[in-house]
Each structure stands twice: as structure tokens, then as C-alpha cells.
Amino acid sequence: MDNYQNKNLNEEQQEQLLFMMLIQQHQQIAMMGMGKLQNPATEQMEKDLSSAKYAIDTLGMLKKYTKGNLGKEASDYLEQTLTNLRLNYAEESKNAKQDEAEAGQEDNNKEDA
């Protein structure tokens, strides 16, 4: 855990760095869940929209519970990250619904044949 500590940073700056690293961790979980980042454990691109939603919701909760307690840089970073993730999630959810509809249409066509 000492790898994040920098002797040139005061305690508040170190805590801000840790908070930003926490945001990045949840951002990576969400992006992996949306199939936009490779899962390092499996080295595969995998989609799990429920895990993406969980990570995004967790960041949303952090935003709510830290309101007024963050510096501008951390607050802006959290807001930008959430906006980006929510837009990507909306797009991926839409794509998943379209894929399901197309798969259902193909199944209906096979049954009719």
C-alpha cells in the first residue's frame, strides 16, 4: 500500500489521490462490465451489464455521500467519470436490447420455416 504514498504530498493530497484511485477502480470495473476493457483475469472482452451498473451506482452513492466534502479536482473528476460511464452504459443497454430483439426475431423466423 505504500506505493501510492509520495513524501512530497501532504496527508490531504494523499487522501485525495486514494479517492481518485478508488474512482478509477470502479471505472475500470464498469468499463469491463460493458465489454470496453479486457478482463485481466481471463484476458477476454466480456459483458456483464449488471456488474457495470453496480460499479456506476457505487460511484453515484460516493458522489451523494461526499457532496460538499471533496476538493474541486476530485469532485470534477468524479462527475466527469460518472457522466462518461452513464452515457456508455445507456448505449450498451440499448445495444443489448436490440441484440435481444434481433435474436428473438431470428428465433421466430426459424419457427415459421
Q: Say if residue 42's pLDDT is above 70.
A: yes
Percent of the chain with pLDDT over 90: 68
Instruction: Give residue 26's pLDDT.
Output: 98
Strand, helix or coil at 113? Answer: coil
- Closest by CA to 2, choosing from 18, 13, 19, is 18
DSSP string for 55-111: HHHHHHHHHHHHTTTS-HHHHHHHHHHHHHHHHHHHHHHHHHHHHHHHHHHHHHHHH
Q: Over 36-71, what HEC string results?
A: EEEECCCCEEEECHHHHHHHHHHHHHHHHHHCCCCC
User: What's this model's pTM, rounded to 2 decimal places?
Assistant: 0.82
Contacts of 70 (CB under 8 A, 6+ apart): 19, 78
Question: In angstroms, how far is CA 62 from the centroid of its own chain?
Answer: 13
The predicted-structure confidence for 66-100, as pLDDT tens digits, reads as follows 999 999 999 999 999 999 999 999 999 999 888 78
Integer CA distances (angstroms), 41 to 1, 45, 47, 50, in order:
21, 11, 14, 18
The residue extents of the domains of the chain are 49-113
